[in-house]
């Protein structure tokens, strides 16, 4: 059994980790920390876990995190990097759901997250946990920087186009028009996330610049083998639903690629990825078709057979966009089948 | 492996049966019928099941239902009873999610459902599938009339009070104020179930009389051992959520019962029922705490220590109120542990 | 023109006052205060008011509230009473949307609101602003304690039954099962009001005791002419909608009242009240039928012609349950027609 | 008083016309027709209109539509054109909320709406009712083809860019990523519009081709003075809210336009349009900021000062996208101020 610790178990990615890991056949939940709720039984805060998770929250300082095999950080940015050195020294692997190990350029990190990086050396060895792109590196990783929810959908949506030897599309003018459910903003009290503010309402935010933009650009560039520059316009929107991200991606085919079979390209690219589902031509994936599951579905369109491609991508932001992808990484790191404990059937309706 | 057929797989209880049964370790899905969608792959209608359910819908007439061990009817009222005799002759057991085998009095059935009963003899042997009340009878049943979603929550909420030798409360003046998510109305196109009609809106319906009223009264009376009459005011309400029922029950303590420990009564009553969870005193169960799971949670209140008891009950109407309870019955009928394939962790948020 | 000030204009009742008063033909908006947002143009916080309200928030200390004819307090409990004496001295009338002037018994106030009352003498002269009950007193009032949202619906729902010379129903066993939209919790950041906590979810709260309970009991008793005691069980529930309250009221007819014509009683009682609409027999009012309007609709049921009455009441908690009722009071206090500026048509869908 | 008839008053645009026109100071509602509900009082179907609209639905055949000054058609496509000749002969003006008089090319009409056009000559004289583009022509029109909800937002969003003498942006590669509330699908019973299908869910539709595409392209071309061709990728999405459209528009600046002041361009373009509000630079308009009102708000962004412009547009699809714009046209046609009866303050929250 893999001994698992969770730091910061009171947010949405924390409780989602608990939902998944409590049913994982090879995992023993060992410690769940929360500075503010130390001593509270987990099931008192989340009655959905009554009879399922018997642990209480413990203070991160007193927890035996060093006895774990792996620790998930479902914390605000900046926490994981402050624990990383000690845990690695104790031979504990780390999966960070926040941004501490995502951006390879520490200057970029400091610019977007307004804090210095605590351990640039560990950042250097950290692996970006986007399984379908980095599977082999993840198997051997000690530290995982898990992709953000938007970046997962945008990168997997563009990857088949960008991973070819030469550019199929105009890579300097990509557009990602993304729509997220409100749980993406987390469980912290904030006026903008109130029901009465976000229900029956829709708006964009962060058009000027969003923290996920440099992460996506870094990832897309990596998908080209770091051989080409990427220009991306990224517009996130808040949608009145709890879970789900729908990314609508636009790219312009280069003239020399105009007779490519895009549907076949995508199907072929993901033929061995158990959680990525390329839908039949003409489909419109719904976010609910992946609700509460680790699947991500993609549909490819070329309206009017013109040069603008439209790629539709859906995922559950809390699963494939966070906790589920973390468990997928953990499975690989510990030599398990990638899908172990992750075959929950999507909940529809 | 239990060979399972589903008649009427295109509604919400049908797709919920598929979600649960596709992951059930002892079940082989054998046939899923739909008169209107015969030939369509199930996963084309419900993309949530892509890669999980590979069957196509078949016409009920051509399906090999008689080769199944058990057939679930997730159909409108009146269908199951028309197939019952043939299936029983072929030694196939029947679990009806509609009302054909709920009301023991055929005159009542005909009054509320506006059709004659096709097989009163089979109705006589049918067992009412409320596991926590009828567990032993269900083990031996050939035909199950599964309780409606409201009746499940109301009966389990009142059962500890009514099952005592003498009445603890005024049984002629019970009140059930029930709130249901919209999926309770099914997947049929109806103006009242449109998003733009039911979102951001709340209303009662059927106050004059609802089909679940005679079913609940019959069940509550049975819980008294058919020794006492029941008077119930039942007011259902439509709530802008997809899944979930919240029943708020009111009963007046009889003077001689005024020093009873209600909390202990409930905890004791359900101590051996794996899916019924009596919450600590003072709790307010949320419907989402059982979302997509077979659990039902109850909290007991006695405001101001006066004589009016307030019982709060939550369930997922599609699981414990329909498909999940059906699988719970199936497990018992085939000698399995009651919880087999039903331990899904509730999805929160 | 009536010069109007609003203290605490950044919450939901504040912005609702602005919506209504900005279109009121006899009102001049003079000052809108907010301690935290002083200097911010109102329309920057609420873009819905761009081009409609040109004022900026001012600090309450620097505002010329004393030059107003009337000041609305859309503030937390405890603020209005600290300003009351000075405003009255300057001949400014006061309409408090919080609880400072609701409970006549200062001990009750201190028990439920955990603060001493600042001006019991002013409390004594304050009039409870439930127009349909206290219309004449409101015309002459200098200080209005506006009813809470739940209390408005429960009192107007029970009033025709309780206002008779002798009791028609068992007044010691009334039940109010109330369901409120989330805006009732206000615009403050709180985890329980987050979209991801309250969407697709339903639960009761405060069953043990809620601040509106003593207010309702005081009001119902007053409706009996303070001649009889009231026993009420009050169970509020949170519903995933923005606006609206649906109160389902239960009362048991006394034997001697069993042949009363309840429908006629209600229609007659409210025949001269422009904002109370008694629906035809058999109706089920929807909260959306009063959305964004000052109307309150009632339907009366007697299921199975038994002795339990079921009264269904809907209102918009921010209008008839708060800002609209406040403007209705203001109209009366300044000699205007009660409906002036309040004839907005409900928004459906 | 303008005598107004409404054909097809039972849908969402019909009831919205009633909400607006019943409070319009210069309108006398004369006839509301519905073939299916003839004889039913309007307020029985829409209790929100109790005490406000006293008419009953009448059969279109028996209604005295010819005595009206203007008739609104809130009907399915194909109805208005079948009544147009008779009404015009009786000197009745026509405002069609459906598509009969939108597409100038009858072949296009027949292709997208699968029916021949009944009166191409009347189509020729019909004016496209987009007030901010066609104000003068609307004043003199006898027949108005009112824009669709998506087309209104997309055309007004792009208009300042396209109406210049020479192209500022690459007009062959415009993108409109649009999100609509569910009321856009109307009040007809359809599975896809059910609450349980569209709540907590998000998806695109019609990517291959949507009826609003040729209408938008025709309109954008007209905005260039029919001097230039337009290439548009239009992707509509269904959003779990009742009302509201959010259009996110993308355009690439031509090199020679790269130092243009886009904010000033938009503010100047709409400086005399009372219902179009250009927000300050950096804004993100919310759909609720125009809920239940005729306003449309626009924000202009140029992320990273690169060449991709992002234009954000919000409107209420039932008001500025349908009924409200219809009344705006009517005001102009009858010599009234454009804003008469249309100054409702948006409902927030």
Q: Which residues pair with C4 in a beta bridge?
A: C29, C70
Buried b (16+ CB within 10 A) or exposed e, A262-293: bbebbbebbeeebbbbbbebebbbbbbbbbbb
**What is the 8-class DSSP label of residue C152?**
H
Contact C200 A240 (CB under 8 A): no
> What DSSP line would sit under D148-197, residue for residue?
PHHHHHHHHHHHHHHTSSS-SB-TTSEEEEEEE-GGGG-SS--GGGBHHH
ipTM of the complex: 0.97
- Cα distance between residue A168 and residue C314, in whole Å: 59
Mutate to test the interface with C, among B178, B301, B303, B313 (most CBs of C within 10 A): B303
pLDDT of residue D33: 94
Q: Residue C221 burial (CB < 10 Å; 0-12/13-18/19+)?
A: middle
**What is the 8-class DSSP label of residue C30?**
E
Nearest to C348 among D48, D277, D285 (CB): D48
| Residues of D annotated catalytic, as ranges | 149
Concerning whether A119 is annotated as a catalytic residue, the answer is: no
Distance from the Cα of C36 to chain A's closest Cα (Å) equals 14
With CA atoms as reference, the chain A residue closest to B184 would be A349
> Average of pLDDT values for D90-118?
97
CA distances from D59 to D33, D68, D187, D188 (A): 5, 15, 19, 19
Catalytic residue among A119, A149, A178, A329: A149
Nearest to D199 among B12, B187, B199 (CB): B199
Helix axes A131-139, A149-162, angle to 10 degrees: 100
- Cα distance between residue C211 and residue B347, in whole Å: 32
Rounded to 5 degrees, what are φ and ψ at C189?
-70, 115
Contact B349 A243 (CB under 8 A): yes
What is the strand order of the sheet A232-238 is part of?
A: A203-204, A232-238, A174-180, A245-252, A308-315, A296-301, A276-278
Torsion of CA B223, B227, B229, B232, to 10 degrees: -10
pLDDT of residue B60: 81
Closest C-alpha among C184, C30, C214, C29 to residue C110? C214
Distance from the Cα of D307 to chain A's closest Cα (Å) equals 9
Place of tokens 């709530």: B239
Q: Are C247 and B264 in contact (CB under 8 A)?
A: no
CA distances from C326 to A226, C13, C60 (A): 64, 10, 20
> Average of pLDDT values for D265-271?
98
> Average of pLDDT values for D71-98?
97
Q: Which residues contact C88 (CB under 8 A, 6 or more apart)?
A: C94, C122, C142, C143
Determine the Cα angle at A118 with ends A185 and A120, to 5°.
Answer: 105
User: For D148-170, how does the pLDDT look when each residue is reduced to its tens digit (9 = 90+)?
Assistant: 999 999 999 999 999 999 999 99
pLDDT of residue B54: 95
pLDDT of residue A100: 97
Q: Which CATH architecture has domain A2-125?
A: 3-Layer(aba) Sandwich (3.40)
Contact A242 C199 (CB under 8 A): yes
Nearest to A348 among B15, B285, B289 (CB): B15
- Cα distance between residue A169 and residue C155, in whole Å: 67
> Average of pLDDT values for D301-320?
97
Q: Which residues contact C158 (CB under 8 A, 6 or more apart)?
A: C174, C220, C223, C249, C251, C311
- Cα distance between residue D190 and residue D188, in whole Å: 6
Regions of chain A where pLDDT drops below 70: none
Regions of chain C where pLDDT drops below 50: none
Closest C-alpha among A164, A310, A300 to residue A248? A310
CA distances from A106 to A112, A124, A130, A206, C168 (A): 10, 10, 20, 22, 76
pLDDT of residue C63: 72
Residues of A in contact with C188 (CB under 8 A): 191
pLDDT of residue C35: 87
Closest C-alpha among C286, C322, C151, C193 to residue B200? C286
Contact D241 A242 (CB under 8 A): no
Q: Are A247 and A178 in contact (CB under 8 A)?
A: yes
CA distances from B313 to B177, B285, D81 (A): 11, 7, 56
Q: Which residues contact C52 (CB under 8 A, 6 or more apart)?
A: C22, C43, D345
Regions of chain B where pLDDT drops below 50: none
Place of tokens 């599938």: B129
Q: Do you find a cis peptide bond into D349, omega within 30 degrees of 0?
A: yes
Residues of C in contact with D243 (CB under 8 A): 349
Domains of chain B, by residue range, sit at 2-125, 150-317
| This model's pTM is above 0.80 | yes
Structure tokens at B242: 């997809």
Distance from the Cα of D20 to chain B's closest Cα (Å) equals 19
pLDDT of residue A9: 86
Catalytic residue among C68, C119, C149, C178: C149
pLDDT of residue B96: 98
Q: Are A48 and B345 in contact (CB under 8 A)?
A: yes
Q: Which chains are adjacent to chain A, needing at least 3 Cβ pairs under 8 Å?
A: B, C, D
- Cα distance between residue A246 and residue A296, in whole Å: 10
Buried b (16+ CB within 10 A) or exposed e, B140-177: ebbbbbbbbbbbbbbbbbbbbbbbeeebbbebebbbbb
Nearest to D203 among A240, A286, A308 (CB): A286
Residues of C in contact with B235 (CB under 8 A): 248, 303, 310
- Cα distance between residue B115 and residue B76, in whole Å: 12
State in words which class domain C150-317 has: alpha beta
Q: Are B62 and B72 in contact (CB under 8 A)?
A: no
- Cα distance between residue A107 and residue C143, in whole Å: 60
- Cα distance between residue A248 and residue B270, in whole Å: 50
Q: Do you find a cis peptide bond into A8, omega within 30 degrees of 0?
A: no
- pLDDT band for D64, please (50, 70, 90 cuts): confident
pLDDT of residue B123: 98
Q: Which chains are adjacent to chain C, needing at least 3 Cβ pairs under 8 Å?
A: A, B, D
Q: Say whether A238 sits in a helix, a strand or coil.
A: strand
User: For C178-217, how does the pLDDT look when each residue is reduced to its tens digit (9 = 90+)?
Assistant: 999 999 999 999 999 999 999 999 999 999 999 999 999 9
Q: Give the mean pLDDT of chain D.
A: 97
Q: Are D278 and D270 in contact (CB under 8 A)?
A: yes
- How many A-C residue pairs are in contact by the CB < 8 A criterion? 66
Dihedral sign from CA coordinates of A201, A206, A210, A216:
positive
Residue D61 clears pLDDT 80, i.e. is over it: no
Distance from the Cα of B231 to chain A's closest Cα (Å) equals 33
- Cα distance between residue D16 and residue D4, in whole Å: 14
Contact A204 D248 (CB under 8 A): yes
- Cα distance between residue D241 and residue D222, in whole Å: 32
User: For C308-343, how does the pLDDT look when each residue is reduced to its tens digit (9 = 90+)?
Assistant: 999 999 999 999 999 999 999 999 999 999 999 999
Residues of A in contact with C182 (CB under 8 A): 194-196, 199
Closest C-alpha among A93, A25, A60, A71 to residue A333? A93
**Number of CB atoms found within 10 A of residue B186's CB:** 17
**What is the 8-class DSSP label of residue C337?**
-
pLDDT of residue B285: 98
| Pairing assessment for the beta strands A70-73 and D27-33 based on DSSP bridges | unpaired
> What DSSP line would sit under C247-311, residue for residue?
EEEEEEBPGGGTT--HHHHHHHHTTT-TTEEEPPTT---BGGGGTTSS-EEEEEE-GGG-SEEEE
| Pairing assessment for the beta strands D296-301 and D276-278 based on DSSP bridges | parallel
> Average of pLDDT values for D8-26?
96
Q: Which chains are adjacent to chain B, needing at least 3 Cβ pairs under 8 Å?
A: A, C, D
Determine the Cα angle at C155 with ends C152 and C156, to 5°.
Answer: 80
**Number of CB atoms found within 10 A of residue C274's CB:** 17
Contact D242 B196 (CB under 8 A): yes
- How many A-B residue pairs are in contact by the CB < 8 A criterion? 92
pLDDT of residue D35: 87
Residue D62 clears pLDDT 80, i.e. is over it: no
- Cα distance between residue D88 and residue D65, in whole Å: 11
- Cα distance between residue A196 and residue A207, in whole Å: 23
First to last CA, chain D: 34
Which residues of B lie inside 8 Å of D (Cβ-Cβ)? 12, 181-183, 185, 187-191, 193-200, 240-242
Structure tokens at B336: 């399995």
- pLDDT band for D322, please (50, 70, 90 cuts): very high
Residues of A in contact with B288 (CB under 8 A): 48
| Pairing assessment for the beta strands B308-315 and B245-252 based on DSSP bridges | antiparallel
């Amino acid at each position: 059994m893999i001994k698992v610790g969770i730091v910061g178990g009171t947010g949405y990615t924390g409780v989602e980790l608990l939902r998944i890991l409590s049913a994982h056949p090879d995992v023993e939940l060992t410690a769940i920390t929360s500075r503010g709720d130390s001593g509270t039984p987990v099931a008192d805060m989340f009655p959905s876990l009554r009879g399922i998770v018997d642990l209480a929250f413990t203070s991160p300082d007193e927890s035996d995190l060093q006895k774990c095999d792996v620790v998930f950080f479902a914390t605000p940015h900046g926490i994981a990097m402050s624990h990383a050195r000690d845990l690695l020294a104790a031979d504990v692997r780390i999966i960070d759901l926040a941004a501490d190990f995502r951006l390879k350029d520490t200057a970029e990190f400091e610019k977007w997250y307004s804090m210095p990086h605590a351990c640039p050396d560990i950042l250097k060895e950290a692996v970006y946990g986007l399984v379908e792109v980095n599977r082999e590196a993840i198997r051997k990783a000690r530290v995982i920087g898990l992709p953000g929810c938007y970046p997962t959908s945008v990168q997997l949506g563009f990857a088949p186009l960008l991973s070819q030897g030469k550019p199929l599309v105009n890579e300097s003018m990509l557009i990602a028009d993304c729509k997220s459910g409100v749980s993406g903003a987390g469980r912290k009290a904030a006026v903008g996330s109130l029901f009465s503010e976000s229900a029956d309402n829709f708006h964009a935010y962060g058009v000027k610049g969003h923290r996920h933009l440099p992460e996506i650009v870094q990832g897309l560039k990596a998908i080209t083998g770091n051989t080409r520059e990427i220009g991306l316009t990224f517009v996130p929107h808040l949608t009145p639903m709890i879970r789900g991200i729908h990314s609508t991606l636009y790219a312009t085919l280069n003239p020399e690629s105009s007779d490519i079979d895009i549907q076949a390209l995508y199907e072929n690219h993901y033929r061995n990825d158990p959680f990525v589902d390329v839908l039949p031509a003409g489909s419109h994936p719904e976010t609910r078709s992946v609700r509460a599951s680790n699947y991500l579905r993609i549909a490819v369109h070329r309206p009017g057979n013109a040069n603008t491609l439209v790629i539709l991508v859906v995922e559950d932001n809390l699963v494939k966009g966070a906790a589920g992808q973390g468990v997928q990484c953990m499975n690989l790191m510990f030599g398990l089948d990638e899908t172990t404990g992750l075959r929950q059937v999507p909940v529809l309706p």
